[in-house]
DNA sequence: TTGGCAGGCGAAAACGTTTTCGATTATTAT
DNA sequence: ATAATAATCGAAAACGTTTTCGCCTGCCAA
């Protein structure tokens, strides 16, 4: 049971490999008759081109690499979904790697993708990534690169993001609009741009609406998860008794906080309003359902691949390409926690 | 800025390509002196073998394909996590495809993976998959194949599963042990083996403990999601007023049900106990926290890749390989909903 | 001297494709 | 008739690696 190759078909038909190859790709210098013959024989033998040979010859793998901090994460898995769907449509496959928020791993994975000769790389940076020489290298090798969600401003490449600052501003403003006077913020780690921007949006909203910014109302949720939310909420209850609103960097932290308040008999939103971020679909399932900002993960993945695709196409044709930054719309979702 | 190749190194050193290649791979018929020389030069030039050429020559891609019904899903994304981590350790990359529970897509994706010449394929079947000729073809081509979670008994290959029947039995028994007398079941679609097995476990547990099985207490949650849980719960409340326990096929459905009961003022677990399945981590975050069965996704992914790796290794050495079915342990998790 | 052997190296084939550049024939214009 | 043009085809190089097989040199034993 040997593999079917162009050679095989050529021999069967008594013509050259060249002609077979060209016939299958509809080159204009092959007669209709020969084309028909070749295609028939190819179909009969179930001919499938050997991608390894094609790759070698064309220097393309029709594969892109994707590096994200965490796979088990509603937002990122939505992005993955958007990416692989779009990629498949365009005939590309996606290799997924997880940096676990580690800079070292991220760097290693970039090397891995380069050595695998993917046609493009999409990445959402690890929180701990500050050195970006590994990404510079990608640019030097002229491998199309796209960053999404967690990006670095130091790299000139296409980007897909939301306007974290504006979204956080809107979220905080919503709390103010519903009557909150003293609003705390559960923020993320200090480094990531997202975390900074959401914090700045929060701060600006306060200042624009005559509420004084108080740094003692800002709590850091290092891992931005459920337990962080629990701990921050407990700490908050110890530190302050006059807080009537919280804006959290992520739904998970908000849910953690809500569970604390539920337990202690503090009513949400009567005693304290809570605003999440991301619109993780569980937010609508908890009691009370969580007001939040919708962060379009699936859409982001889709747009991101489309943009990368454009760049890969340009590169193939040796055209030059102008990187773009695409900002996606977020949406304020009002539910029962505010 | 040309690519560095073996030829390049050979020319620089005035030796043959053959010797360079062999030196880099520590062949015994190259002198230590030459090896050192070659390695030094290779490092200096940052030589990286061209995988396309290596693939073509060795007929291996060091890549495996993974097909799952849904990426945005706690259990499956955990499996992905386990797989890619383990794969990376062994020098393999993972291409992820999503069947969206569609048989047609699944079939197409298998073809895609075959034509990409992956070294192995891992799959969790779409619910609608009954025809398995596409999987037979994988076997015929002697591509190592592994099925996990949603498997087919008609295919002889390695499998990694949990004992759904036993786990469901234990879950139902737990409801019985805590005093439930009339226990409903929110089951999944009719076809999938999982769904059948969990149903059978539920039924058997009833019968073994002197409770009569009543088919009117079984509700079908076609998509096994949050809304299904809501609808089933509402229907249940219309149909029956004496039910004091529910075993749901998945946490999501359980959470949907809980939200209905919360709304209607029906107390969980005082009026009705609820038992989920999967131990989706949100289950511990809701009120009341959900008793459930822990389904080890990460572990399953890890074990699955390891097993596939063994088969790929055997295949490379042309040894024959005995497929194995590995059954992973589940764990009953008692929380506040029972 | 001859033979055998080991160590070190390289020529060349092979993997299967794509594409350039001629070559050959058939057709048309002059 | 000749020249120019169009239509078809194929030889061969190229992509970069791996691996088989044989060659050469030097050494030792008989």
Q: What CATH code is carried by the domain that includes residue B122? A: 3.40.50.2300
Q: How far is Cα A262 from Cα A194, in angstroms, rounded to an integer?
A: 29
**pLDDT-derived band of residue A116, with 50, 70 and 90 as boundaries?**
very high
Q: What is the b/e burial string over B39-75, where b = at least 16 CB atoms within 10 angstroms of the residue's CB?
A: bebbeeeebeebbbeebbeeebbbbbbbbbbbbbbbb
**pLDDT-derived band of residue A60, with 50, 70 and 90 as boundaries?**
very high
Both structure tokens of B262: 């919360």
Question: Does A88 contact B at CB distance below 8 Å?
Answer: yes
pLDDT tens, residue by residue, A129-162: 889 999 999 999 999 999 999 999 999 999 999 9
Question: Does A63 contact B at CB distance below 8 Å?
Answer: yes
Cis peptide before A302 (omega within 30 of 0): no
Both structure tokens of B243: 């039910």
Question: Does A59 contact B at CB distance below 8 Å?
Answer: yes
Alpha-carbon distance values, B169 to A72, B75, B173, B176, B187 (Å): 28, 20, 6, 10, 13
Beta strand ranges found along B200-330 (DSSP E): 218-220, 245-248, 273-275, 292-294, 325-328
Helices in chain A by DSSP H: which ranges?
Answer: 6-13, 17-24, 32-44, 51-58, 74-89, 103-115, 133-140, 164-177, 193-208, 226-239, 251-264, 297-316
Asked if residue A309 and residue A289 are part of one domain, the reply reads no
Question: Does B231 contact A at CB distance below 8 Å?
Answer: no
Angle between helix B164-177 and helix B193-208 axes, rounded to 10 deg: 40
Q: Which residues of A touch B77 (CB under 8 A)?
A: 71-73, 77
- The distance of Cα A331 from the centroid of its chain, to the nearest Å, equals 18
Q: How far is Cα A209 from Cα B26, in angstroms, rounded to an integer?
A: 71
Give the angle subtended at the CA of B57 by the CAs of B55 and B59, to the nearest 5°.
Answer: 55
CA-based nearest residue to B159, from B321, B298, B326, B328: B326
B1: in domain: no
Asked if A66 and A98 count as a contact pair (C-beta separation under 8 A), the reply is: no
Asked if residue A246 and residue A173 are part of one domain, the reply reads yes
Asked if residue B156 and residue B115 are part of one domain, the reply reads yes
The DSSP secondary structure of A138-190, one letter per residue, reads: HHHTT--EEEESS--TTS-SEEEEE-HHHHHHHHHHHHHHTT-SSEEEEE--S
A114: in domain: yes
Structural domain span for residue A245: 164-294
The whole-number pLDDT of residue A163 equals 97
The whole-number pLDDT of residue A317 equals 87
Q: Answer yes or no: is pLDDT of A312 > 80.
A: yes
Q: How are strands ordered across the β-sheet holding A63-68?
A: A325-328, A158-162, A145-148, A120-123, A63-68, A93-98, B93-98, B63-68, B120-123, B145-148, B158-162, B325-328
B225: in domain: yes
The whole-number pLDDT of residue A48 equals 96
CA-based nearest residue to B74, from A292, A252, A223, A202: A252
Asked if residue B316 and residue B283 are part of one domain, the reply reads no
8-state DSSP, B291: B
A338: in domain: no
Q: How far is Cα B152 from Cα B166, in angstroms, rounded to an integer?
A: 18
Q: Are strands A331-333 and A292-294 parallel, antiparallel or unpaired?
A: antiparallel
- Distance, Å, B25 CA → D18 C1': 11
Asked if residue B168 and residue B155 are part of one domain, the reply reads no
B243: in domain: yes
Residues 6+ apart with CB under 8 A from B42: B9, B20, B24
Angle between helix B51-58 and helix A51-58 axes, rounded to 10 deg: 150
Q: How far is Cα A300 from Cα A329, in angstroms, rounded to an integer?
A: 10
CA-based nearest residue to B60, from B13, B101, B92: B92
Residues 6+ apart with CB under 8 A from B216: B239, B240
Asked if residue B83 and residue B11 are part of one domain, the reply reads no
**pLDDT-derived band of residue A1, with 50, 70 and 90 as boundaries?**
low
The DSSP secondary structure of A243-256, one letter per residue, reads: --EEEESSHHHHHH
Q: How far is A62 from chain B (nearest CA, A)?
A: 10
CA-based nearest residue to A248, from A301, A292, A189, A208: A292
Asked if B99 and B149 count as a contact pair (C-beta separation under 8 A), the reply is: no
Asked if residue A267 and residue A323 are part of one domain, the reply reads no
How many C-alpha atoms does A8 have within 13 Å on its Cβ side?
A: 15
Average pLDDT value for residue range A37-57: 97
Q: How far is Cα A117 from Cα B145, in angstroms, rounded to an integer?
A: 26
Segments in chain B below pLDDT 50: none
Q: Which of B42, B53, B55 to mutate to test the interface with A (most CBs of A within 10 A)?
A: B55
**pLDDT-derived band of residue A2, with 50, 70 and 90 as boundaries?**
confident
- Distance, Å, B45 CA → C27 C1': 56
The whole-number pLDDT of residue A129 equals 81
Both structure tokens of A272: 């304290």
B286–A281: do the CB atoms touch at under 8 Å? no
CA-based nearest residue to A246, from A282, A265, A219, A222: A219
Asked if residue A213 and residue A101 are part of one domain, the reply reads no
Alpha-carbon distance values, B66 to B91, B102, B141 (Å): 16, 15, 17
A63–B112: do the CB atoms touch at under 8 Å? no
Q: Which residues of B touch A256 (CB under 8 A)?
A: 285
**φ, ψ at A29 (rounded to 5°):** -95, 30
| Residue of chain B minimizing CA distance to A95 | B95
Asked if residue A307 and residue A242 are part of one domain, the reply reads no
B338: in domain: no
pLDDT tens, residue by residue, A235-255: 999 999 999 999 999 999 999
**pLDDT-derived band of residue A172, with 50, 70 and 90 as boundaries?**
very high
- Distance, Å, A307 CA → D17 C1': 34
Strand partners, B327: B161
- DSSP H/E element including B260: helix B251-264
CA-based nearest residue to B127, from B200, B221, B62, B33: B221
Q: How far is Cα B58 from Cα B113, in angstroms, rounded to an integer?
A: 18
Asked if residue A177 and residue A115 are part of one domain, the reply reads no
A273: in domain: yes
The whole-number pLDDT of residue B1 equals 59
The whole-number pLDDT of residue B321 equals 94
- Distance, Å, B30 CA → D14 C1': 29
The whole-number pLDDT of residue A26 equals 94
Both structure tokens of A122: 């999409």
Residues 6+ apart with CB under 8 A from B333: B279, B283, B291, B292, B293, B294
Both structure tokens of B196: 């059948």
CA-based nearest residue to B138, from B121, B153, B150, B151: B121
Q: Answer yes or no: is pLDDT of A282 > 90.
A: no
Q: How far is Cα A70 from Cα A77, in angstroms, rounded to an integer?
A: 8
Question: Does A97 contact B at CB distance below 8 Å?
Answer: yes
Strand partners, A68: A98
Q: Hey, is B105 helix, strand or coil? A: helix
Asked if residue A260 and residue A155 are part of one domain, the reply reads no
Asked if residue B177 and residue B153 are part of one domain, the reply reads no
Count of domains for chain A: 3
Q: Which residues of A touch B285 (CB under 8 A)?
A: 226, 255-256, 259, 282, 286
B67: in domain: yes
Alpha-carbon distance values, A33 to A19, B140, B267 (Å): 12, 34, 77
Q: How far is Cα B105 from Cα B87, in angstroms, rounded to an integer?
A: 25
């Amino acid at each position: 049971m040997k593999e079917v190759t162009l050679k095989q078909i050529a021999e069967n038909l008594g013509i050259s490999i060249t002609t077979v190859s060209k016939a299958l790709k509809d080159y204009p210098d092959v007669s209709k008759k020969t084309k028909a013959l070749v295609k028939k024989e190819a179909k009969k033998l179930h001919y499938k081109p050997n991608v390894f040979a094609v790759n070698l010859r064309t220097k393309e793998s029709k594969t892109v690499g994707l590096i994200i901090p965490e796979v088990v994460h509603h937002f990122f898995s939505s992005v993955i979904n958007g990416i692989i769907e779009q990629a498949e449509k365009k005939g590309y496959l996606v290799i997924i790697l997880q940096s676990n928020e580690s800079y070292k791993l991220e760097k290693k994975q970039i090397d891995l993708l380069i050595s695998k000769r993917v046609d493009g790389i999409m990445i959402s940076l690890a929180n701990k990534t500050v050195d970006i020489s590994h990404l510079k290298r990608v640019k030097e090798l002229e491998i199309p690169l796209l960053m999404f969600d967690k990006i670095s401003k130091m790299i000139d490449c296409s980007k897909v993001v939301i306007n974290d600052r504006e979204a956080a501003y809107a979220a905080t403003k919503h709390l103010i609009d519903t009557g909150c006077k003293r609003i705390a913020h559960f923020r993320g780690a200090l480094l990531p741009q997202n975390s900074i921007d959401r914090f700045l949006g929060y701060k600006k909203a306060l200042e624009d609406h005559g509420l004084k910014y108080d740094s003692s109302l800002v709590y850091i949720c290092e891992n931005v998860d459920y337990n962080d939310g629990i701990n921050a909420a407990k700490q908050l209850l110890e530190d302050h008794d006059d807080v009537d609103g919280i804006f959290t960097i992520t739904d998970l932290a908000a849910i953690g906080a809500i569970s604390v308040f539920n337990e202690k008999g503090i009513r949400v939103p009567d005693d304290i309003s809570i605003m999440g971020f991301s619109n993780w679909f569980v937010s609508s399932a908890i009691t009370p359902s969580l007001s939040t900002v919708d962060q379009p993960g699936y859409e982001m993945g889709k747009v991101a691949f489309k943009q990368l695709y454009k760049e890969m196409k340009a590169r193939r044709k040796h055209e030059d390409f102008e990187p773009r930054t695409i900002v996606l719309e977020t949406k304020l979702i009002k539910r029962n926690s505010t």
